Amino acid sequence: MKNLKYLIVGILFGIIFVKAEILSWFRIHEMFRLQSFFMYGIIGTAIIVSMLSIFIIKKFNIKTFSGEDIVIEDKESNKGQIYGGLIFGIGWAITGSCPGPLYAQIGAGFLVVGVVYLSAVFGTWCYGYVKNKLPH
Amino acid sequence: MLELIKQPWHWAVAGTLIGLIVPILLLLGNKKLGVSSSMRHLCAIFIPRKIPFFNYDWKKEIWNLFFVFGIFLGGFIAAKFLTNTNQIVIAESTKEILAGYGITDFSQIMPTQIFSLENIFTLRGFFFFVVGGFLVGFGSRYAGGCTSGHSIMGISTFQLPSLIATCCFMIGGFFTANVILPIIFKFI
């Protein structure tokens, strides 16, 4: 099963969410009130480590395990990043959770977050439904 | 070793491990870190309804659903076997403010006074679960990604749209936490 390896990486990601308390509503509120460095430390460190890793991959032209070139496509710039970003930020503060931690919260036993998750999937669907009428 | 894992992790350890997930996914198969797109794939599989945004070859993206199912399992494993305390230590100043809103139970990683099953059919539940969740899903798709895809993957590859999106995430969050929620807590 070639997809099983992604399941294992996901498990690691989920464990980190719990162990670093990123899935905590409280941590997100400390962050948005600038009362703790914790979340900024995590996101900042993650960005730096990711940046260095990609620099090394590019510098030594490292290929995937199956020998493909590693390609990172540029993201398309549009107004969605502004409007969508603001909307996402509001939801992030209300639920105390971005999509990754949602999965980990349900796994960690907060079954009620299943409602948040279903609503997020419905929000995703509604975006697809009205996409062409929105400013981009 | 297990005892060490069971303690809460330092932010630098967690940040480093999250950062390493980006090259691991690239090396395993040229995959770009992203979580919110999994919800788009679910829509594409189950409710595409001839909407162009959901008509694409989702079978090519199935790795992402394995990845997010892994996050779910990881959450279960860590909470069940790798944690020696549920209590999290948060800033006193945050505690004080939240106590002013009636959030006084800090014994779990989530505030039980909001995130409990009894609240599902209350106004509070509707706002925090249904409205909040909807905005997370709608907003992340509109922005083209969430914290993982934009703030970590995007910024670390120097993508300007991701930096803009992340700034807007933070503005929306700051405004909501400091202005909207204090009003909401007065009513529900």
Q: Compare all CA atoms of chain B with the CA of A3 and give the residue at the minimum distance.
A: B63
- In terms of domains, do B122 and B78 share one? no
- In terms of domains, do B123 and B55 share one? no
B188 near A105, Cβ under 8 Å? no
| pLDDT category of residue A88 using cuts at 50, 70 and 90 | very high
Chain A residues with CB under 8 Å of B140 CB are 84, 88, 98-99, 120, 124
**Nearest-neighbour CA in chain A from B35: distance (Å):** 6
B23, A84, B101, B126 alpha-carbon torsion, rounded to 10°: -100
Q: Does position B183 have pLDDT exceeding 90, yes or no?
A: yes
| pLDDT category of residue B184 using cuts at 50, 70 and 90 | very high
Chain A residues with CB under 8 Å of B165 CB are 81-82, 84-85
Residue from the list B13, B106, B176 with its beta carbon closest to the beta carbon of A94: B176
A103 near B68, Cβ under 8 Å? yes
3-state SS track over chain B: CHHHHHCCCCHHHHHHHHHHHHHHHHHHHCCCCCCCHHHHHHHHHHCCCCCHHHCCCHHHHHHHHHHHHHHHHHHHHHHHHCCCCCCCCCCHHHHHHHHHCCCCCCCCCCCCCCCCHHHCCCHHHHHHHHHHHHHHHHHHHHHCCCHHHHHHHHHHCCCHHHHHHHHHHHHHHHHHHHHHHHHHHHHC
Give the per-residue pLDDT at B109: 86
- In terms of domains, do B64 and B124 share one? no
| pLDDT category of residue B90 using cuts at 50, 70 and 90 | confident
Q: Compare all CA atoms of chain B with the CA of A71 and give the residue at the minimum distance.
A: B30
Take residue B86 and report the two structure tokens written for it.
Answer: 């549920």
Q: Compare all CA atoms of chain B with the CA of A50 and give the residue at the minimum distance.
A: B19
The answer to whether the CB atoms of B165 and A131 lie below 8 A apart is: no
**What span, in angstroms and rounded, lies between the C-alpha atoms of B115 and B132?**
12
Q: Does position A119 have pLDDT exceeding 90, yes or no?
A: yes
Q: Has residue B106 been placed in a domain?
A: no
The full length of chain B comes to: 188
- In terms of domains, do B65 and B136 share one? no
Our count of domains for chain B comes to: 2
Q: Compare all CA atoms of chain B with the CA of A31 and give the residue at the minimum distance.
A: B174
Q: Has residue B95 been placed in a domain?
A: no
Higher pLDDT, B109 or A40: A40
**What span, in angstroms and rounded, lies between the C-alpha atoms of B183 and B105?**
20
The full length of chain A comes to: 136
**What span, in angstroms and rounded, lies between the C-alpha atoms of B20 and B25?**
9
- In terms of domains, do B65 and B133 share one? no
Q: Has residue B96 been placed in a domain?
A: no
Of B34, B60, B84, the residue that ends a domain is B84
Q: What is the mean pLDDT of chain A?
A: 95
Q: Which domain holds residue B44?
A: 1-84
Q: Has residue B101 been placed in a domain?
A: no
What does the pLDDT average to over B71-83? Answer: 94
What does the pLDDT average to over B11-18? Answer: 96
In this structure, the number of other CB atoms found within 10 A of the CB of residue A1 comes to 6
Q: pLDDT tens-digit profile of B147-176?
A: 999 999 999 999 999 999 999 999 999 999
- In terms of domains, do B12 and B75 share one? yes
Chain B residues with CB under 8 Å of A60 CB are none
Q: Has residue B99 been placed in a domain?
A: no
- In terms of domains, do B19 and B69 share one? yes
**What span, in angstroms and rounded, lies between the C-alpha atoms of A134 and B136?**
17
Residue of A18, A39, A100 whose CA lies nearest to B5: A18
Q: Has residue B69 been placed in a domain?
A: yes
Give the per-residue pLDDT at A1: 73
Listed in sequence order, the residues at least 6 apart from A94 whose beta carbon sits closer than 8 Å to its beta carbon are: B127, B128, B131, B132, B135, B176, B181
Q: How far apart are the first and last CA of chain A?
A: 39
- In terms of domains, do B66 and B142 share one? no
**Nearest-neighbour CA in chain B from A36: distance (Å):** 6
- In terms of domains, do B67 and B132 share one? no
Q: Does position B5 have pLDDT exceeding 90, yes or no?
A: no
Chain B residues with CB under 8 Å of A78 CB are 144, 161
Chain A residues with CB under 8 Å of B81 CB are none
Give the per-residue pLDDT at B40: 97
Q: What is the mean pLDDT of chain B?
A: 94
Is A19 near chain B, with CB under 8 Å? yes
| pLDDT category of residue A66 using cuts at 50, 70 and 90 | very high
Q: Has residue B93 been placed in a domain?
A: no
Is A3 near chain B, with CB under 8 Å? yes
Residue from the list B26, B75, B153 with its beta carbon closest to the beta carbon of A57: B26
Is A135 near chain B, with CB under 8 Å? no
Q: Has residue B98 been placed in a domain?
A: no
- In terms of domains, do B53 and B125 share one? no
| pLDDT category of residue B86 using cuts at 50, 70 and 90 | low
- In terms of domains, do B134 and B74 share one? no
- In terms of domains, do B79 and B139 share one? no
